Structure 1
Amino acid sequence: MKIYHLSHTDLDGYSAQIVTKNYFDDILFFNSNYGREIDEKFDEILLLIEKNKNINPSQKNLVLITDLNLNLLQCENFENRLKALDSKILLLDHHQSGLECAKKFPWYFLDSSRCATLITYDFFSEIFQDDNELKEYVKIVNSVDIWLKDELWFEFGKVCMGIVSSAKEINNVIFSDESREYIFYLLSQALKFWGQEDAHIKLDMEIHSIKKRFFMKDSDDTLSNLVSKYIVKQLSDNRERFEISYFDKKGILTYNIGNTSVIGNDFLVQNSDIDFFIDVTSRKTMSFRANGNIDVSLMAKNLISGGGHKNASGGLFNSFKDAYSYDKIKSQIIELISKKTQKIEKEADNEIAK
């Protein structure tokens, strides 16, 4: 059976996935916040199931959802669409807001007395077997997620919660698998401190070093530079996915990449055939970078009435609609460029005609 595991984007959500990773090999992970993002992630899962069914019609599939509560409409929709694909669904959650759904759908398991990670661990450990080290980690997550502040594991859990919430170095929209791998790594390294005296304090002191170790390959550097090298490599290795064009110039489009000046400039230096670098953010801002091959101040002016310097400019894309899929984000930028370049070409033709 192939498992598609959709979970929340906090400590409890990722930790529930760490539990299933311990028990299963054939599993794909997805993470989502609440609301519309759940629907988009579910659509993504359904497309993968359909694709795999065409290759292997006898493949059995389970969609596992943890630490996310659905509404009645979502439950009915998900159940019917999976039934049509001869696939199952199981939801393990602890949010009381899902009570109505839990009463109606037998696959919707709700227990507000435990965090989703503990529910997931109890469910699968009863089927397979206990894992003492994992069980200890689950207690840490449970104590902080349902705020059992008098428990032994609580303070250490608070530090782990902070580790996940601050793990912003890898964007989880354009690099979802890599971002998850990073968070799994940070939590696995954090667990090594458990059992030491003042473990939560020692872990808190070492977070920066743990982050650096994930990104460090050959030599040490600042965390910012190490992250830049990592992101530039990811973009370079997957250039086709990120490439866009503006007239006869080639560029790269990212989303909420962070530290655009460093990453953008590093990428352009290492990829001299690429003329410009654009990062669009959830705040509707667009940052433009170049390395002498194009004047991005004019580009920003033409596209979004922005401006700045020849190699570093920016502006506001007012009609940009934030999305949880890179492809949907990229399509908006391509449409913007197409519309604006066509307008410029038309105006140029009119001037020639005069």
Structure 2
Amino acid sequence: MLFSNINGKNKKKIVLFPHNNPDGDALGSSLALFFYLRKLKHDVDLISPTEYSEFFQWLPGIDKILIFSEKTKYLVKKKIINADYIFFIDFNNFSRINNISDLFSYSKAKKVLIDHHPFPFYFDFMFSDPTVAATSILVFRFISDMNNLDKIDKNIATCLYVGLMTDTGYFRFPSITSETHFIAGKLIEKGIDINFIYHHLQEKYNENRLILLSKALNNLKIIKKYRTAYTSIKTSDINFYSYKQGDTEGIITYGLGIKNIVFSVLFFEEKKKFPIKISFRSKGNFDVNMFARKHFGGGGHKNAAGGTSERSLSESIKYFLKTIHNYYIHLLTSSI
């Protein structure tokens, strides 16, 4: 029914939402779907619940995104009320867009989920598969299932490829399958500029990003017994005149690069705001999704997750160090 309605001749009002602080996969998959649905002649709006990182300012169509704010709240509410379909992309429960979730009570639109995280809430239509490496894969499948792969142009392919690259750690993570590379190959056939994409994702650092990296490496602590590395960035480490969302991207992976380390954690304190933001990464079979859910009200994937803490930075770290004692066997036996 969804495919026939979207693929049909009747123009629909469609609104797309990625999660708060959208990353490369959330933005890439949302923008790709935005371009695709517009090719089908629908009235499409892409709304981000929060600002996105300037790190992604070069993405095709990024200027088409409407940012939710007090200034745009009425306009966003109007678009939600008038929508025929609302797509929720790269997240599966409303806690990831908690600043606007109340607005959906005004909507009679059909709700569509496209996401690869575990334990989804219920939606009217669900394209959910936690085994895939990125939501961009599910958007590619969505287009393929509608027999419209010919509608993927260079812009759509670029956006999907960014989602693949960022959520697979540049094709390094264990969630990668032959399908991941098959889709990447199909996107390359559309004429995307891989060198251009890689340059903007990996080789275009600003000075502040490198300063934050040096602070994080200086604060790095290793607990060999638990095969764990953790670090923190506190308010005094940040130059807020030049700091931009996304400047901490990739810092957490340095801990996992240390020999025999299977668990890496980054604590981030921004302007003394609570909660403290926490990122978790792991190797092998240590499940950081379950760890984040149980102890820090978060979640994500088996090897990549996030959470928060209402404690101070120092108390958050103390609590973390207390909790990992219960995971000694899990960490000791986790394969690399």
Q: Larger RCO: Structure 1 or Structure 2 (Cα < 8 Å, ≥ 6 residues apart)?
A: 2
Pick the structure with greater CA Rg. Answer: 1
Give the shorter-chain TM-score range. Answer: 0.3 to 0.5
When normalised by structure 2's length, the TM-score is 0.36
